[in-house]
Amino acid sequence: MTALTAKVAEPAPPPPPAAGAPKRRGTELTLLAGAVLISVLGHLHVGLTTTGHVPGTAARYATGLCAAALLAHLAVRLRAPYADPLLLPIAVLLNGLGLVLIQRLDVTTPGHLTAGDQLLWSALGVALFVLAVALLRDHRVLQRYAYLSVAVALSLMLVPVFFPAVNGAHIWIRFAGLSFQPGEFAKILLAVFFASYLAANRTALALTGRRLFWKLRLLPGRVLGPILAIWLISVGVLVLERDLGTSLLFFGLFVIMLFTATGRIGWIAIGLLLAGLGAYAVETFEPHVHSRVNDWLNPFASIERGEGPGQLAQSLFAFGAGGLLGAGLGHGQSFLIGFAAKSDFILATAGEELGLVGLAAILLLYGLLVARGFRAGLALRDPFGRLLATGLASIVALQVFVIAGGVTGLIPLTGMAMPFLAQGGSSVVTNWIIVALLVRLSDSARRPRPAKEPAE
């Protein structure tokens, strides 16, 4: 309904000059206190229900979270005083809940404790957040580094090809006992590149090109060529690495940003068609993908064959067991899902122990985060900023949809990390940087305009 009304509605006028817009830093601090409180209570609850006593890590967890939240808040207060007050508390709450869920799963997999690592990675993420907010005074600076970011992004994505595959996918770099996923970082760099390139060539993309038929015009190859090539290379590399979730994400990011820049819905349709063909080809020639699609079409096939439930079936059982209200933190059996219960399938634990109510709340938090990102994009005045905000918000939205849709059987499963919730260092760090950029963008959007706009 909203899409239809939007179609007929006049383009909304740019928001009024935000002169004297309230800073809302107090609101942010209050919300942060709430987010920290919920997370710490969750931490205590897990300890009490699973072991019967307050967990020994409680003090460390609480102080760590408080310190991180305060530091981040100070950075925002000092360096981005007009930033959207919801972004940081949502990130802290999601990160805190992720730590609670991982701690809870650690209890049932005693040989494989990861909550401590995750806490360290979160600390690193917050540190980078603080650094980014403090050092990046104006997001438009990033525009200058468009080609550097695409070069770094592509090389980052290429590196894992030379590292051994883990669980069938070449997406990790293992180094000195640590492993991380360069593709996670590449998505930010690629968003920066797309935004910068499309902002620079927007007019050419929107208005030139030969007319094919009706309203469909061939985009000028000179302008479209390079960006299409970059996109094809990145998706090609990801397919080689069998990181299908991320290639789907990059595809969606490209299409959304191209659409936002040009407004050409016809090309989106053609893009979707091509993607469909590509997906069909991959599904046919890649046994790995083929089995994922079969699992999606019939998650209980392995049970009927007498081989016991597969991972997706176990995930559905976990969600089903949660029902409306959930079993309560610590009372579920989502460890039955087996490996990846803390990363790809962390939502199943949330679904089983917090129920539909809890999970819907978590998804709405993501929705709010994405919405605030789009809002920053709407309020910004420079095309680069708008595109970047749209791109970053879309990354979060697409990632949440792909992974949540995958584990609940809505779409075929592709391995991806739930932003902030899932165990995984590179993911947490990347998402903190995304939030830092959104904070920076929203600060620019809401900052009162100087009397005279400096000429671009």
Partner 1 sequence: MIRYIRWCAYFCALLLVALLVNLARVQVWESAAYGANPANKRPAIERYAEPRGDILVDGRPVTGSRDSGQLLRYERTYTNGPLYAPVTGFSSQIYGTSFVERAEDAVLSGTDPGLSAFPLWYELARGRPAGGNAATTVRSGMQRAAYAGLAGKRGAVAAVEPATGRILALVSSPSYDPAALSGTGTKVKAAWSALNADPARPMLNRALRETYPPGSTFKIVTAAAALDAGVVTDVDAPTRTPDPYPLPGTSTLLPNAGTGCEDASMAEAVQWSCNTVMAKIGVQVGLRGMVDAARRFGFNSEGLKVPSWVSRSNFDTDMSQDQLALSSIGQFNTTATPLQMAMVAAAVANGGELACPYLVERTTQDDGSQVRRGERRSLGRAMNPATALRLQELMVKVVENGTGRNAAIPGAVVGGKTGTAQHGVGNAGTPYAWFISWARAEGTALPQVAVAVVVEDASADRGDISGNGAAAPIARAVMEAALATG
For partner 1, the binding residues (CB under 8 A) are 2-3, 6, 9, 11-12, 14, 202, 256, 259-261, 263, 300, 303, 308-309, 313, 316-317, 319-325, 327-328, 331, 333, 336, 351, 355-356, 359-360, 363-364, 366-367, 370-371, 374, 377-378, 383, 386-387, 390, 393-394, 397-398, 400-401, 404-405, 408-410
Considering beta carbons, is residue 78 or 301 the nearer one to partner 1?
301
CB 33 to partner 1: min, Å: 27
Nearer to partner 1, 115 or 370 (CB): 370
Tokens matching residue 2 = 């909203």
CB-wise, 131 or 360, nearer to partner 1?
A: 360
By C-beta, is 61 or 193 nearer to partner 1?
193
The backbone torsions φ and ψ at residue 270, rounded to the nearest 5 degrees and listed phi first, read -65, -40
Q: How far apart are CA 67 and CA 75, in angstroms?
A: 12
Query: Where on the phi/psi map is residue 263: left (φ > 0), alpha (ψ -120 to 50), or beta?
Result: left
DSSP structure class, residue 324: T
Closer by beta carbon to partner 1, 239 or else 368: 368
Q: Which two tokens stand for residue 323?
A: 């029902």
Q: Which is nearer to partner 1, 145 or 374 (CB)?
A: 374
* Beta carbon of residue 2, minimum distance to partner 1 (angstroms, whole number): 5
CA dist., res. 239 & res. 282, Å (int): 8
Instruction: State which residue, 125 or 355, has the beta carbon closest to partner 1.
Output: 355
The answer to whether 346 and 418 are in contact (CB under 8 A) is yes
For residue 421, the minimal CB distance to partner 1 (Å) is 14
Instruction: With beta carbons less than 8 A apart as the criterion, state whether 241 and 172 touch.
Output: no
CB 149 within 8 A of CB 190: yes
Which residue is listed with tokens 């967990």?
55
Q: Which two tokens stand for residue 408?
A: 């609940």
Please give the single-letter amino acid code of residue 230.
Answer: I
Name the DSSP class of 55.
-
Residue 301 C-beta: closest distance to partner 1, Å? 11
Query: In sequence order, what are the beta bridge partners of 216?
Result: 213
Distances (CA, A) of 124 to 117, 152, 407, 425, 428: 11, 21, 28, 9, 9
- In whole angstroms, the minimum distance from the beta carbon of 40 to partner 1 comes to 23
Nearest approach, Cβ of residue 174 and partner 1 (Å): 32
The tokens for 44 are 């205590």
Which is closer to partner 1, CB of 42 or CB of 391?
A: 391
Angstrom distance (rounded) from CA 245 to CA 415:
6
Contacts 24+ apart (CB under 8 A), 271-277: 275/251
Cross-strand partners of 174? 179
Q: Which two tokens stand for residue 200?
A: 């620079």
Least distance to partner 1, CB of residue 126, Å: 26
Minimum Å gap between C-beta 110 and partner 1 is 12
- Residue 279 CB partners (closer than 8 Å, separation 6+): none
| CB of residue 77 to partner 1, shortest distance in Å | 28
Q: Round to whole Å and give the CA distance between 426 and 188.
A: 12
> Closer CB to partner 1, residue 428 or residue 445?
445
Least distance to partner 1, CB of residue 72, Å: 25
Q: Which is nearer to partner 1, 40 or 397 (CB)?
A: 397
C-alpha of 364 from chain center:
14
Give the three-class secondary structure for 175: strand
